[in-house]
A and B are shown apart, each in its own frame.
Chain A
Amino acid sequence: MMRVGYVYFAACALTWTTQALGQEKEIQNPLAGDQSAIKEGSSLFRANCSPCHGLNAGGGGRGPDLRAGLWVHGASDAAIFRTISQGVPGTEMPANPFEDSEVWALVAYLRSVSAGTKTPVAGDSAQGERLFFGKAGCAQCHMVKGRGGRLGPDLTRVGAARSVEYLTESIREPDKELSLAMSDPNNHYGIPAEYDTVTAVTKEGERVIGVAKNEDAFSLQLLGQDDKLHLFLKKDLRDVIHERRSLMPAYTESRLSNQELQHLLAYLSRQRGE
């Protein structure tokens, strides 16, 4: 009985999915290319989406770059409509109570700024993976699917969340924009922590350098370069220095050639958590 029931359920699910996909293919944005809709979509985007996806849809601390043509949750008009209105379970993307015309205006706006279909990076992903875990030393601080270091952001889904341009900038000029870290879900207006270099100076003059996982007026939770957690009370410290730079070295051309960069980008852009 169990088996029959399971098969029946699976068959229904398959039928439903096929129908849903079929319908989604058929529905097109009635406002596609409409200049006034694009303008309204732009305003709606700024007011509602930009806090996570960036002012001009280029990606923010929490939301992916929407100009890169990645469309991880479906690239058709109908799929983007569904992503906006219903959200994406299992991610930070919430459902949004827009009217249908507003959602279509947003889709029209996103199409107007998006690069269209994504072109794959020219490099060799396998060589990129070897660089990541080997010579380039990325895995000393970054983790992919449970392998690697802890000091920097986990990159398991970075290919779904960030454009190649963003990744390039992060590799070549990591200080330009610090990556965002933990945010407090109970602090509605709070700004997330950053992957900033923090130096704690003890009363004895010892300097512990690392990334602040958290901090307040009285304490500091620091993940040190020594791969250890240092849980300080500020009363025991002489100073806490926020250096406002990344702990990651800049991978200039002398450290990582353009060709190696392409391999690394090919590897990273394929990391979609799948």
Chain B
Amino acid sequence: MKMATIRVTLAVAGLMTAAVIGRSQVSYNRILKAAEEPQNWLTYSGDYKSWRYSKLEQINTSNAGNLALQWAFQSADLGQFETTPLEIDGVLYGTGQDNRAFALDARTGRAIWRYQRRLPDKVQACCGMVNRGFAALGEHLFMATLDGHVMSLDMQTGNVIWDVEAADYRQAYVFTVAPLLVKDKIIVGIAGGEYGVRGFIDAYYADSGKRAWRFYTVPGPGEPGHETWAGDSWKTGGAPAWITGSYDPELNLIYWPTGNPSPSNNGLERGGDNLYSNSMLALDADTGKLKWHYQFTPHDLHDYDSTQIPVLLDAPWQGQPRKLLVQANRNGFLYVLDRTNGKFLSAKPFFTRLNWAKEIGSDGRPVVVPGSEPTLEGTRTCPGALGATNWFSPSYSPETGLLYVAAAEECDVFTNAPQKYHEGHDFMGSVYVPATGEKTWGALRAFDPFTGEKKWEFKYFTPPNGGSLSTAGGVVFAGDSDGNFLALDARTGKDLWHIQIGAAVYSSPMTYALDGRQYVVIPAGGTLFAFALP
């Protein structure tokens, strides 16, 4: 009897300390004010401005050196684990490679459910069978899959609520993007720029999966911009849209960047500017109508996708308060645009050996260096095809006023050659190789986003594939391609703490708090790691 009594007592005590998770309700209003509840992480970039910044300050510059592993979660597949998990009221929701997804107890890392949408054969994903994460609304999660589907899952079970086909994966239409939830719709953009797809951005009603609108990033006959494609080249023009955009609720505009024209290295058969490849698009969130566009790299020949996160800042520009959009672009320039109308304001190089363009002219067009185009035998061009930076997230800290950008220092030799289009096959018009005899490297760089002035850099031994997170604790977290996860001083770049986690980091960190403890999470290889103070 006595034993039984003790057991009952313990059980009651256990119940009292257990986290009881009710049915979460992620309203649009919560996502609008995501920055005000830093204990959660409600959308891919942390908030609609895409700052990837958290007001959490428990981990700070004086104690970051004590960070310790709290748990690790093994997803299944080694390689490029690109997810940014969401954290909602004590549960982490993430996606893995090969159409996997999972929900974890955010205190222990123990799985609550696992889901995998079985992959068909011959899915063509240029750069790994990856996925970058979920969006959430109400009690549901939203995922876009490698085989061209968009789906809604139940938060507590992983059960499929709805599942729609957006495009045919056999034609190499794949999704890798984390969707963006805006009001009652989820926004997704397609990938496939290496396979001659016709890019698009879609919106689906979150409750039904019914498509609300589609914006083709390559205009069809009769549409403005169609004239920027020679002949029928628009049909296989690429301009994919595979990174999550930002949103300004006051203007009701979604800012969504696009990728390279296809074939990426050979422009001979696609004369013209090739709109809206390598552009920033401002779309009406309700209708998908184009409000404005700005093209960073017209008629691109170097795979300079502009699929980098647009960071929204409200700040004075030449004395006047302005709504600005800042983007560190793969082509090596750090841009400032007016996000109300797309007006070009400035572009400063952030890559040391940039040689494809002299500058960005006052009209916003690059002044291209003659002879920088790919040839049959190859032309050495900087930045290389993977860019001065890439899709992984920058972060912006309002305390330091600095933009943190993971940058790669690599020049490539670009070749070109005509190539026939075969549906569902790669369509790049040749290839690039790293310039022989040149050591490549990388860095996390801190910039004044408005002047482009570099305040500090922390050198990586190899070019990075992981982004950064900044916090009110004055810390910037980042991962390098040599398997290091780091905490740096946001003001100076000083290494406060680092740990070897065993595989190249292909993601950007996120943070949340639970039971009064701040956690920082980073995926690498096939594993999600959570760190906190002891």
Binding site for B on A (CB under 8 A): 39-40, 42-44, 46-48, 50-51, 55, 97-99, 102, 177, 184-191, 215-218, 242, 244
Chain A nearest CB, measured from B86 CB (Å)? 24
Closest chain B residue to A98 by CB distance? B425
| Contact indicator A99/B78 (Cβ below 8 Å) | no
Q: Are B484 and A216 in contact (CB under 8 A)?
A: yes
Is B439 at the interface (CB under 8 A from chain A)?
yes
Per-residue interface assignment for chain B, residues 424 to 446, with 1 indicating a CB less than 8 Å from any chain A CB and 0 otherwise:
01101111011011011000000
In the complex the two chains form, is A216's CB within 8 Å of B430's CB?
no
User: In the complex, are the beta carbons of B461 and A55 less than 8 A apart?
Assistant: no
- What is the predominant secondary structure among interface residues of chain B facing chain A? loop
Contact across chains for A190 and B481 when beta carbons are under 8 A apart: yes
A194 to nearest B CB, angstroms? 9
5 of the cross-chain contacts (CB-CB < 8 Å) are: A47-B419, A97-B122, A102-B425, A186-B80, A191-B462
**CA A215 to CA B422, docked complex, whole Å:** 41
Interface: B498 (CB within 8 A): yes
B430 touches A47 (CB 8 A): yes
| Contact call B417/A43, Cβ cutoff below 8 A | yes
Q: Is the CB of A218 within 8 A of B498?
A: yes
Find out whether the CB atom of B482 lies under 8 angstroms from the CB atom of A50. no
> Are B431 and A46 interface neighbours, CB within 8 A?
yes
Most chain B CB neighbours (cut-off 10 Å) among A39, A50, A215, A216: A216
The answer to whether B463 has its CB under 8 Å from any CB of chain A is: yes
**Considering the complex of A and B, which 8 residue pairs feature the smallest CB-CB distances, nearest first?**
A216-B482, A187-B504, A186-B503, A43-B417, A43-B419, A216-B461, A46-B431, A46-B430
Provide the bound-state CA to CA distance between A113 and B460, in Å.
40
Partner of A217, one of B417, B422, B460, B465: B460
Interface residues of B in 11-47 (CB under 8 A from A): none
- Give the complex CA separation of A103 and B386 in angstroms: 28
Given contacts A51-B433, A97-B122, contact A216 B465 (CB under 8 A): no
| B4 contacts A by Cβ under 8 Å | no
B419 touches A99 (CB 8 A): no
B389 at the interface (CB under 8 A from A): no
Contacts of A186 in B (CB 8 A): 78-80, 503-504, 525
In the complex, the answer to whether A216 meets B127 with C-beta atoms within 8 Å is no
The answer on a CB contact under 8 Å between B79 and A188 is: yes
CB B493 to nearest CB in A, in angstroms, measures 12
Q: Quick one: CB contact mask for B444-473 with A, threshold 8 Å, 1 for yes?
A: 000000000000001111110100000000
Given A216-B461, A216-B480, A218-B484: A190 and B504 interface contact (C-beta under 8 Å): yes
CA distance A160 to B436 in the complex (A): 24
Find out whether the CB atom of B422 lies under 8 angstroms from the CB atom of A102: yes
Query: B433, B458, B459, B506: which contacts A50 (Cβ < 8 A)?
Result: B433
Whether B78 contacts A217 by the Cβ 8 Å rule is no
For residue A97, which residue of chain B has the nearest CB?
B122
Residue from A40, A177, A217 within 8 A of B482 (CB atoms): A217
Residues of B within 8 A of A188 (CB): 79-80, 127-128, 465, 504, 506
B225: interface (CB < 8 Å): no
The answer, yes or no, to whether B272 is at the interface (CB within 8 Å) is no
* Bound Cα distance A247, B439 (Å): 17
B418 contacts partner chain A, Cβ-Cβ < 8 Å: yes
- Decide if B415 is an interface residue (CB 8 Å cutoff): yes
Measured between beta carbons, the chain A residues less than 8 angstroms from B462 are 187, 190-191, 216
Instruction: Kindly list chain A residues whose C-beta atoms are within 8 Å of the C-beta of B430.
Output: 43, 46-47
Mark interface residues in B119-147 (1 if CB within 8 Å of A CB, else 0): 00010000110000000000000000000
